[in-house]
């Protein structure tokens, strides 16, 4: 495929900004990358200096991808505290600098807040003392179920201050999903808010938490932040966060943590029904988040950085909170959505706060592109220097619009490929160092060794102009360490199929120049608006409904979401398909998992295409959902080929 290549000279980007020299040039990249894989111990020992250690490490890398012995440790004899690295060490130089700019859902009724590093220190210490007073200790788990408000960052950092492990549950998840995650890590405390305003609507978080807690141990406490002041019911496990913080001491010494102590758990979907608790640890994760934040976005002191993600996803962990704050940055935290009150909101915020680096998802870019250029053009975006994309491959139309209309051709676009499991960026262009190709994630970050494997044999595919599954040959500091409570599952999921390699779950192409292009998931995971959804998870929600006998869920191309959720549903004997039942199932999945899992299309399937051994042939279902049924391939092994004819005749996605 021939693509337009664009070199972004960094010297003259940003019309009104005195642009600093990029951290890494093309020549630096080549040299540093070679050094990082030739001698990882020396390379990462040097990078380890980015953090303040209480006790310096003497060992750097101690990792094994050997079958039966997956063991990943970085800087294992060093000790440190994450909140001290993100706050205390900046106080002398930047106590009065803004750490967090908080932008509310509705800018017409509320004002942005600027929180300095000193104020952040104060609030985090107070919240840490509140958590302690609720009995939270080093190693205990705290679930955070909050809107995008400063308290979410305070809560994360307060946990790290006292060595508690946080597990954030996205505020869009249902009570059921929240309850499963509270129980999954046996949390002592759940931190929530009365309501979560988003896009002009309010999610009743506290009442969701109450519902979730009905299915949790009695001793789990609920710490409630006041966001809107709306009416909520109060039970005797509830504690008033605002009142307690008012009373709490603003002094709280950071606890000394080992580099390999768990920092957080974050649940993510896989190809089985149960989400996995991805575990990240203290030293390696923080170092990797900080380093990638600085280099990939070419962040310089004084810059204003905005990642539009939610802290409920890993992107928010690494690039709203931990990476930027470890670097002493000013980070924007946005409560709202791209299109509220209107489709100019992102650009209004960029202009208002003079954002220098802007990081968002292709789905948002496509939605805003559809709203027209006027929304962009009426705002002064001259402060922008680097644009980022994450979550799914970015299609060239969206890339070009982002580049031309938002970046005015002056801002390199970093298309960052990574995962919840990887902690930080894995493949990405670097501003000032990489000749950009729209739609490609291009080059490995330092220390990352991508390999392309032949999917069935697992043989390494050498050379350029090749395709296969994307694996990583050796460990990097930001790598997840285990699945919470289930190391065997960790090993099986990521190291089971291709021995000796970390398997990403993605397919990729390495082009003639050696640049990487992600081609999408090769497992039963789909990517809906940049969010990962296990099809098995949606299927188990559907079959939990009394009228559903069987279901198969696949992805199909969706103009804005990237992929939409297409569900084939077989009803119980005696049940009649109807539009009401379709609505009922949509609502059902929303309440079982959350709004992001709601099927876009439901097709009534009298039967599903199965092999004689009873295995559903998903390949066929995907083709029909894509409206591409002419090329179904070999259907001779089907138990009942007629099933397919019915599915084609009644397909829902007709172009």
SS3 395: coil
199 marked as binding residue: yes
Distance CA 461, CA 451 (A): 8
- According to CB under 6 A, which residues from 441 to 460 bind ligand WT7? 441
314 lies in the binding site for ligand WT7 (CB under 6 A): yes
161 marked as binding residue: no
- According to CB under 6 A, which residues from 488 to 507 bind ligand WT7? 504-506
- The candidate with the shortest Cα–Cα distance to 331, out of 307, 295, 301, 352, is 307
415 marked as binding residue: yes
Binding mask 86-105 for ligand WT7 (x = CB under 6 A): --------------------
Size of the site for ligand WT7 (CB under 6 A): 21
389 marked as binding residue: no
315 lies in the binding site for ligand WT7 (CB under 6 A): yes
420 lies in the binding site for ligand WT7 (CB under 6 A): yes
Residue with Cβ nearer ligand WT7 (390 or 581)? 390
Distances (CA, A) of 48 to 45, 60, 74, 206, 569: 5, 9, 10, 41, 52
Residue with Cβ nearer ligand WT7 (308 or 570)? 308
Binds ligand WT7 (CB under 6 A): choice among 264, 288, 359, 418 = 418
Binding mask 377-416 for ligand WT7 (x = CB under 6 A): -------------xxxx---------------------xx
Contacts 24+ apart (CB under 8 A), 482-490: 482/279, 483/276, 483/277, 483/278, 483/279, 484/184, 484/185, 484/265, 484/276, 484/277, 484/278, 484/279, 485/184, 485/185, 485/277, 486/276, 486/277, 487/70, 489/276, 490/70, 490/276
Q: Are 133 and 248 in contact (CB under 8 A)?
A: yes
Residue with Cβ nearer ligand WT7 (33 or 319)? 319
Binding mask 209-248 for ligand WT7 (x = CB under 6 A): ----------------------------------------
Residue with Cβ nearer ligand WT7 (129 or 360)? 360
521 marked as binding residue: yes
- The candidate with the shortest Cα–Cα distance to 478, out of 425, 528, 417, is 425
> At its nearest, how many Å lie between ligand WT7 and the CB of residue 217?
29
Q: Are 53 and 79 in contact (CB under 8 A)?
A: yes
> Across-strand partners of 55?
79
590 marked as binding residue: yes
Name, in order, each residue with C-beta under 8 angstroms of 101's C-beta and a sequence gap of 6 or more. 112, 113, 114, 115, 304, 330, 331, 332, 333, 353
119 marked as binding residue: no
Distance CA 429, CA 410 (A): 15
Distance CA 612, CA 479 (A): 41
443 marked as binding residue: no
How many residues would you count in the chain? 655
- The candidate with the shortest Cα–Cα distance to 322, out of 292, 363, 347, is 292
- According to CB under 6 A, which residues from 260 to 279 bind ligand WT7? 268
545 marked as binding residue: yes
532 lies in the binding site for ligand WT7 (CB under 6 A): yes
Residues that bind ligand WT7 in the complex, under the rule CB under 6 A:
268, 314-315, 390-393, 415-420, 441, 504-506, 518, 521, 527, 532
Binding residues for Mg(2+): 543, 545, 548
Binding residues for ATP: 391-393, 415-420, 506, 521, 532
Binding residues for CoA: 198-201, 315, 529, 590
């Amino acid at each position: 495929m021939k693509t337009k290549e664009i070199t972004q000279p960094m010297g003259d980007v940003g019309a009104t900004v005195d642009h600093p020299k990029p951290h890494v040039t093309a020549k630096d990249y080549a040299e540093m990358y070679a050094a990082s894989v030739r001698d990882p111990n020396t390379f990462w020992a040097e990078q380890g200096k980015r953090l303040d250690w209480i006790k310096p490490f003497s060992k750097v890398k101690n990792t094994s991808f050997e079958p039966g012995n997956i063991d990943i440790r970085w800087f294992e004899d060093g000790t440190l505290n994450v909140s001290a690295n993100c706050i205390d060490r900046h106080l002398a130089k930047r106590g009065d600098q803004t750490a967090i700019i908080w932008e509310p859902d509705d800018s017409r009724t509320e004002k942005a807040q600027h929180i300095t590093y000193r104020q952040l220190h104060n609030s985090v210490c107070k919240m840490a003392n509140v958590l302690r007073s609720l009995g939270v200790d080093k190693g205990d788990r705290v679930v955070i179920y909050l809107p995008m408000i400063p308290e979410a960052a305070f809560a994360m950092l307060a946990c790290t201050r006292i060595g508690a492990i946080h597990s954030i549950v996205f505020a869009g998840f249902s009570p059921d999903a929240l309850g499963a995650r509270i129980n999954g890590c046996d949390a002592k405390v759940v931190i929530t808010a009365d309501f979560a305003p988003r896009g002009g609507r309010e999610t009743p978080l506290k009442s969701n938490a109450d519902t979730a807690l009905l299915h949790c141990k009695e001793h789990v406490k609920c710490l409630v932040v006041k966001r809107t002041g709306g009416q909520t019911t109060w039970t005797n496990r509830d504690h008033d966060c605002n009142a307690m913080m008012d009373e709490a001491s603003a002094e709280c010494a950071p606890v000394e943590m080992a580099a390999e102590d768990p920092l957080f758990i974050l649940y993510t979907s896989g190809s089985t029904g149960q989400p996995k608790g991805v575990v990240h640890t203290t030293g390696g994760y923080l170092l990797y988040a900080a380093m990638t934040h600085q280099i990939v976005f070419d962040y310089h002191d004084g810059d204003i950085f905005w990642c539009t993600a939610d802290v409920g996803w890993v992107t928010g962990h690494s690039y709203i909170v931990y990476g930027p704050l470890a670097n002493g940055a000013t980070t924007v935290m946005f409560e709202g959505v791209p299109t509220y009150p209107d489709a100019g909101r992102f650009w209004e915020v960029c202009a208002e706060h003079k954002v220098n680096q802007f990081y968002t998802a292709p789905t948002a870019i496509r939605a805003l592109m559809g709203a027209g250029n006027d929304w962009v053009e009426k705002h002064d975006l001259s402060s922008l220097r680097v644009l980022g994309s994450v979550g799914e491959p970015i299609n060239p139309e969206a890339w070009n619009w982002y580049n031309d209309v938002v970046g005015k051709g002056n801002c390199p676009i970093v298309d960052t490929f990574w995962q919840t499991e990887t902690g930080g960026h894995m493949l990405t262009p670097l501003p000032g160092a990489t000749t950009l190709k729209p739609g490609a994630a291009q080059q490995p970050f330092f220390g990352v060794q991508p390999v392309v494997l032949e999917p069935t044999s697992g043989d390494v595919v050498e050379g350029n102009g090749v395709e296969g599954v994307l694996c990583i040959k050796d460990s990097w500091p930001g790598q997840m360490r285990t699945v919470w409570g289930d190391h065997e599952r960790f090993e099986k999921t990521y190291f089971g199929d291709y021995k000796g390699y970390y398997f990403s779950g993605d397919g990729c192409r390495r082009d003639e120049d050696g640049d990487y292009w992600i081609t999408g998931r090769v497992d039963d995971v789909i990517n809906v608006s940049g969010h990962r959804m296990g099809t098995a998870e949606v299927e188990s929600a559907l079959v939990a409904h009394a009228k559903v006998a069987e279901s198969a869920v696949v992805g199909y191309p969706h103009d804005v979401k990237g992929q939409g959720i297409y569900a084939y549903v077989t009803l119980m004997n005696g049940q009649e398909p109807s539009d009401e039942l379709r609505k009922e199932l949509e609502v059902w999945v929303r309440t079982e998992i959350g709004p992001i899992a709601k099927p876009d299309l439901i097709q009534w399937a009298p039967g599903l295409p199965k092999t004689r051994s009873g295995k559903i042939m998903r390949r066929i279902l995907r083709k029909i959902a894509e409206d591409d049924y002419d090329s179904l391939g070999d259907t001779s092994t089907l138990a009942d080929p007629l099933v397919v004819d019915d599915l084609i005749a009644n397909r829902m996605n007709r172009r």
